[in-house]
Each structure stands twice: as C-alpha cells, then as structure tokens.
Structure 1
Amino acid sequence: MGTITLRKSAKGVVAFRAQIRLKEDGELTHSESKTFTRRALAQEWLRRRESEIEEAQATGQPVQGLVTLKQILEDYVSDAKGIVAWGRSKTADIARLQKAKLAHRDARHLRAIDFVDYARWRRTEEEAGPATVLNDIVWLRQACLGAVTRYGMNKLVQELDAAKQELLRLKVIAKPRRRIRRLKPEEETALREYFGKQEVRAKVPMLQIMEFALLTARRQEEITTLKVADVDFESRVGWLDDVKHPKLKTGNRRCFRMLEPALELIKRRIDSGQADGFVFPYNHRSISSSFTRACKLLNIPDLRFHDLRHEFSQH
C-alpha cells in the first residue's frame, strides 16, 4: 500500500518521501504523502497510517488524509453561515482558535494531552481566565462534532472530552462564577446626579436609560432594540426580538411586563419626538462606555451597566 522514495536536493540534502496510494477497480481513490529526514521515521509513519486506513476500511469509515483542526473550524463556520447567528464574542473566539498553533496540527493524531497543553498555555502565556479557556474547549468540541459526520473522527471528540474532564479536575478551566455585584443606594444617587447634569448636552440620555433599566431589568442591547410599535400600553407589556437565550440566537421573540413609571417614560419620549421608531435609538456600546466612564469619575468600583438588572425587584 505504501512506498518510500529516497530524494536528494541540489544541495545534497537527503530526504525520504513516504507515500500511500489506494486504488479501487484500477482507479486511484486516495493518495497522501509525507517527507522525513530519516527512513525509520518514514517507515513508522507508513506503519501507523496503514494501520489507521485498514481500521477505517474495516469499520466502513471514510479514509481521510491530512485534516487540520483549522479546517474543521472552517467547516464549522461554513456550516453555521446563514443558519445560526453568532455573537461577536463567539465569532472572535473561533477566529482566534483558527490562528492557534494547535489548529495547524493533523486532527487525526490529536490526543487529550494536546488539548490539555493548549489550555495550560492559554492560562499561563496569554493569562486567560478559567471560564474563558472553557469557552475555547466548548467551541472546539462543537466544531469537532461536525468532524464526526464529515470525516468520521469519532476518536477526536473522545480525546477532547477526556481532556475537558482532566482540565476540570486540575481547575485549569471552570464555569464562570455568578456575578453578585449590587448597586448601593449612595452609588445610585451619585449616578443619577451625574447623569442628570449631563442630560441636556449628552447625545445619549443616560439618566432615562438607567431609569428604564432599573424599572424593566432589560439588557442594554434589548433597551436599544425595543421598538415603539412593540410597546402595548393597554396590556402594559413590551415585545423584544432575538432575546438572549442559551441556544436560540435569532427568532426568540419574548414579551416582558412594564411598570407604570416605565410606560410613562416611554410616553414622554414619544411626545417629545425623541423616540423615532425605537424607544431608545442609540448604540448599546455607547451606553456601556458612558456608564463605565461615569463610574470611573465617581470612584465607583467594579460596577457594570448589566448589574442594574439585579435591582429590578426594588423599583
């Protein structure tokens, strides 16, 4: 099935090219090769690959040549395109994984220790947190599940699962801790005073947005995508599209109840002409930036706009 050919460059460098060619009814169905500096290495590669090919043929699996983890990740991206909408964070994570050294390895030969070493490298060299590295492992597993169907790489998923269990045991990866930061009364007062002074000249009405967040417990992205047409004043509810969900990224339309002060705030914005199509037609990133900047100026540590959601029951 395999052959080894001695090759010599113009500079006299000797190399050994191992090649495997499969034929069916006289027609070439598969070909792969790899070059080594020593014959013994070429022989070992041939032995291992012939064994893998025979096992694949015996179990009815497709015979695959070199398939890198990068290719598997690219397949994952391609399969999701136009079907599943990813967030910015996941998109960036996948792009970074495609550039990692691990991604250029032959996925057929990746073992649990390779994924363990990658996770350790992320923690030590790139100073990524345990929850961040866990995300890497989760995305890799999702991509590798596609490789089971496309390339028959069942073992790859098994190796990754084994690595995940070991990484959890070693506490290299971990689920994110639930954030419990609460807004203190004196902090709320300071923020209201600060945003109140800025309200006249500010492009983003942060005082109104903060008030609305406290009254509805909505995320900043949801606040800026709430349409005037989706506010039902009679039923005292609002409707949102694509609400954040663990599995559904698009099409998740949900309603939420609104207290009378929240509805009155919306009415004021409509009457004043500030709500044009959307109740708060602003970029959600601007809200986050303005809130963070205010907290810094007011010496309010470790408080995020998202933390306001915890105060809903108190307003």
Structure 2
Amino acid sequence: MDFAEEKERQLEEIRATGKMVAPDGTTVAHYIDDYLEYIQNGRTLQRSALFIYKSLKARFGKIRIEKLSKHHLSAFIEDRKREGVQGVTIAGDLSMLSSVLRHCSETRYLNIDPDLADMSRKSIKTEHKLRIKSREVECVPTQSELDAIISQYDGRKRQEIDMPTIIEFALATSMRQSEICRLEIEDLNHEAKTVLIRQRKHPTEKEYNDETVPLLPKAWAIVERVVAGRISGFIFPYNPKSVSTSYTRARQTAGIKRPTRFHDIRHKAISDFFAMGLNVPQVALMSGHKDWQTLKRYTHVKPSDVHVAHGALSDKMEDTKSINENMSVMAAQIAELLAISGK
C-alpha cells in the first residue's frame, strides 16, 4: 500500500470511528518526537524537560505505541524506586508521558488509552507506596548560620567566587543561583533600578520567560559595587553549580549540621520580604512565582512575626491618629487667627 492509499485508509477509519490504528512501525519514540515538534512551535522547552523526554525515549522508545501497557509503566515505577528516585519525580515523568499519549489520542486520533500514564501516576502512592507530594522545605538558614558560612571565606586567597557577595545578593533578591549567574550588565536599568532576568524558570510550565524585576536599595548597591565601571558581560560571571558546591562545602566546614542548600536562601529572602511588609503580588514579582499556592511553600512566617507586624501596624495607626488630631488643632488655630486678623 503506497503513502496516498495509507492516508486515505486512515481518513476513512477516522470518519467511521473517530480513531485510527497507529501506522505500522510507529513507536513511542516516534510519537515523543512528533509531540515535541508539535508543541515547540513558537516556544522553547527547558533543557530539563528535553532531558526527561530523552530518558522516556530510552526507556519506552522501541515499544509500539498501541502496545504500551500498565505493566510497562508499573515496571518503570519500580525500577525508578530501586534507583532511589522520589515519588514526586516519578510522577512528573509520567505526567510528561501522559501529555504525549493525549497528543496521540486527541491530535493524531490514535486508538490508544490516553489515560494510561495518568492512571499509573495515581498508583504510585497506593500500589508502590511512594510519596507523590513534595515535602515542605524546613532547612531555611538562620542569619547566624549564614554568618558562620560567610566567615569561612574570610582571608581566603585566590578565591575565584565572591561567595559573601553572592549570598548577600541572594538574600536581597530571592533569585536562584542560576538566575544570579545569568544577569547581564546590559540588562540593568539605572533609572528604574531594575534588571531583566532572561529565561526565568516558569513555576508551572516547561518553558522560559524573560522578566524585569526591581532591585531594592541593598541589591542595587551590591550591583553598583560589583559592576564597578564595566559596561558589558555578566554581573556575576560564575558557574551556578560551582556556587552551590562552594556554599555546601562552607556549610560543612562551619560545622552546621542542618543540610541547608544555597537554594534555601531563597526561602529566607521571601520570608524576609513579607516581614518587611511587602504584599503577595509584590513578593511574587521579586521571586517569579505566579500564584499564592506556589509561593506559600517558600514562606516561613512564625507566630512572633505576626505579633511584630501587628505591632508595627498599630504604631502606624496611632501615629496617623496623632497626626490627624494635631492637624485638627492646627486648623482650628489657623481659623481663629484668620478670624482675629479679619476683625
């Protein structure tokens, strides 16, 4: 059967049943490639997403698309479990495979089960006894821990990365180390005191977004000090992985037992923004989060913080009340003087 006859057969089958049998020789790998080509029209996937699709091709690629079964996916979950992979990561892999299967069913009209990967993902917790909900991060560094870590860099010669400044900047901005190390001098706006973060990670979609964010006074002062007359290039020309590794080594050398990571500075910074009195939309602009449900994982507000905030608000209200009372007295006095001068 030639190409034209095969296409006509497929169209007739779709008209009759709404679905068609996958063409001979087409595999899971074929349709992963087809899906990627379909969705990347006008958008760029993150390298991490492309890596996962590559891994899925290596695992399932030779299987004919209509032969993919629950048994294949269950074996995949168990293999990943033995490798020590967390349930939330496995669920993410299956979610991406589910997107491919839905594409096959809804866009290519293949007669397959589009819910196969979703059903296997739901079995991770019940049948495979793995957590599929990410744990709340509790290793937010304290200021004393950060001071101890920073002190490990004192007096070091031939220090390639200015880690104290990087840590200070992360606290002032809540940026990830990958974002910090991608900032370019040309993207600074000296009048507005902002910087463009290129290819910023989107919290829910596997794509990049450019986003302009404000640099508060402390962060702007750091940038001015670091740039020091340069007009182009990276503000912090370091490898993000090296930054993370250096932080971890300094933490260990400082004798800090809690496994806080460089990324956890971001949690502290966001909590500090709320303590300053910034609202949710303002903090979301700084951190790059798109909704409160995602952002709240990074907040670590204590009961004492609420008391402090309430006290500050009460003081402000008392000050406002006092100012209003003084203004009323002054207005009355001015009116009395005007009345006297008019006599």
Query: How far has the Cα of 1:211 moved from its partner?
Result: 0.7
Query: Tell me, what secondary structure is at the counterpart of 2:175?
Result: coil
* Matches of 1:149 and 1:310, distance apart in 2: 40
Q: Which residue of 2 aligns with 1:131?
A: 88
**Alignment correspondent of 2:336:** none
Partner of residue 20, structure 2:
62
Q: 1:175: which partner in 2?
A: 133
Deviation digits for residues 47-84 of structure 1 (CA, Å, limit 9, x no counterpart):
xxxxxxx9867304334234322222222333355643
Structure 1 stretch displaced more, 156-165 or 55-64: 55-64
The one-letter code sitting in structure 2 at the alignment partner of 1:185 is Q
Q: CA separation of 1:57/1:106 partners in 2, compared to 1, >3 Å: closer, same or farther?
A: farther
Considering fraction of residues, name the structure with more strand.
1
Q: 1:234 to 1:165 in 2, by over 3 A?
A: same
Distance 1:92 1:116, change over 3 A: same
* DSSP 3-state at the match of 2:26: coil
Alignment of 1:74 onto 2:33: yes
Q: Which amino acid aligns with 2:36?
A: V
Aligned to 1:164: 121
1:158-215: CA deviation from partner (whole Å, max 9, x where unpaired): 22232223334334461322323111233212111112333x5211111111110011
Residues 27, 62 of structure 2: 8 Å contact kept: yes
Aligned pair in 2 of structure 1 residues 231, 56: CA closer, same or farther (>3 Å)? Answer: closer
Q: CA deviation at 1:139?
A: 1.4
**AA paired with 1:286?**
S
Q: Does 1:86 align with 2:42?
A: no
Distance between the aligned counterparts of 1:82 and 1:57, measured in 2? 28
Check if 1:111 corresponds to 2:69.
yes
Partner of 1:264: 221
Matched, 1:281 2:237: yes
Query: In the TM superposition, what whole-angstrom CA distance separates every residue of 1:230-263 from its partner, at most 9, and x where no partner exists?
Result: 333443333222221122623x232323232221
The separation in 1 between residues aligned to 2:234 and 2:5, in whole angstroms, is 62
Shift of residue 218 of structure 1?
0.7
Give the letter for the 2:207 counterpart. Answer: K
Query: CA, structure 1 residues 160+271, in 2 after alignment: closer, same or farther (shift >3 Å)?
Result: closer
Q: Are residue 187 (structure 1) and residue 145 (structure 2) matched?
A: yes
Cα distance per residue 1:140-175 (max 9 Å; x no partner):
012222222454235331222322233343344613
Unaligned residue ranges in structure 2 (runs of 5+): 274-343
The 8 Å contact of residues 214 and 311 in structure 1, kept in 2 or not, is answered as yes
Of 209, 214, 217 in structure 1, the residue corresponding to residue 166 of structure 2 is 209
Provide the identity percentage. Answer: 25
Give how far 1:290 is off: 1.6
Amino acid aligned to 1:91: L
Tell me the matched-pair count.
Answer: 265
Q: How many angstroms apart in 1 are the aligned matches of 2:265 and 2:107?
A: 45
TM-superposed CA distance for 1:223, in Å, is 0.9
The residue matched to 1:29 in structure 2 has which SS?
helix
| Equivalent residue letter for 1:29 | E
Paired AA for residue 278 in structure 1? F
Distance 1:154 1:292, change over 3 A: farther
Q: 1:120 aligns with which of 78, 83, 86?
A: 78
Higher helix residue share: 2
TM-score by length of 2: 0.67
Change (3 A) 1:310 1:150: closer
Question: Which SS does the other structure have where 2:181 is aligned?
Answer: helix
State the 1:306 CA deviation: 0.7
Establish whether residue 98 from structure 1 lines up as the match of residue 75 from structure 2.
Answer: no
- TM-score (structure 1 length as normaliser): 0.72
Q: Distance in 1 between matches of 2:108 and 2:189?
A: 51
Q: How does 1:27-42 map to 2 (within 5 A)?
A: 29=6
Q: Please, which moves more after superposition, 89-98 or 225-234?
A: 225-234
RMSD over aligned CA atoms reads: 3.1
